[in-house]
Amino acid sequence: MILLSVAPLQARLLFRAGYLTQTLSVSEGYNKFLSERYGAKSPRLSGTALSAAFWGRGRWAIGMEFDDLSGSIKYKTLNGDNQENKMKLQNTMVFLAFFLGKSGRLEVDVGYGSNKLTREFYGYQDYHITTSNISSQVGTQESSTKGSIQMLQILYRFLGTTFSIEAGGRYSMNKHQIPSSDPRPGYDSKGIPTDLEFDLGGLGLIGAVSYRF
């Protein structure tokens, strides 16, 4: 995340560049389907989180963050070949940051925004291939969905003031609907395409460097 902090008098611009990693749940919905179909036990999204914020005279700042996350699910096909399905998630958020304690080392951020998920998946690892579905079982299909994200983040500044190093955790709520008409939909227990929810939220870890001026 990058924060900006400027100001005529004591206000600042705060820029932040971070690396975020998050493991997805496989307990239900489309997450569970991917786990059962591809053997994905702990799919993960990770990548950069950049932000810029205006930091006024008080103990708060307001800014914007842009995340560029990606992940993959590796598996073997029925023929024993290695294959990889790819995911890319792009978040755009507005957030408020609150600096706590005498030195302001502890930071709490709350944010809200929108995002886009792009999936590039190969044909499903399915034994039940027939003449009516074989065309959809081969090659890659790319599809995208849009959603909203809410996040709560806690950061602690370990080193520095103007130029600093921080680390912490993030909890996000971020769900996408994968429709039955999707090129790579989820299936129910009877093998019929069905609408499923893809939970891209949960707990994540973030490390960052910030520059204040």
pTM recorded for the entire structure: 0.85
In this structure, are residues 179 and 193 in contact, taking their beta carbons and an 8 Å threshold? Answer: no
pLDDT band at 4 (very low <50, low <70, confident <90, very high): very low
pLDDT band for 111, please (50, 70, 90 cuts). Answer: very high
- Triad 89, 75, 43: Cα angle to 5°: 35
Candidate from 28-32, 67-71, 134-138, 179-183 with smallest mean pLDDT: 134-138
What is the percent of the chain with per-residue pLDDT over 90, rounded to a whole number? 59
CB 86 within 8 A of CB 119: yes
What is the pLDDT at residue 188? 85
pLDDT of residue 88: 97
* pLDDT (average), residues 58-78: 90
pLDDT at 129 over 90: no
DSSP string, 134-145: GGGGSSEEEEEE
Q: Rounded to a whole number, what is the distance in angstroms from the first to the last CA of the chain? A: 16
In the structure encoding, which two tokens stand for residue 39, read together?
């053997």
> How buried is 65 (Cβ within 10 angstroms: 0-12 exposed, 13-18 middle, 19+ buried)?
buried
206: part of which helix (H) or strand (E)? strand 202-212
The domains found in the chain, sorted by start residue, are: 12-212 (2.40.160.20)
Report pLDDT digits (tens) over 114-127.
999 999 988 664 54
Alpha-carbon gap, residue 118 to 43, rounded angstroms: 15
| Residues 67, 201, 76, 129, CA torsion sign | negative
Classify the phi-psi angles of 23: left when phi > 0, otherwise alpha if psi is within -120 to 50, otherwise beta: beta
| H helix count then E strand count, the chain | 1, 12
Q: Give, for 66, the enclosing helix (H) or strand (E).
A: strand 60-76
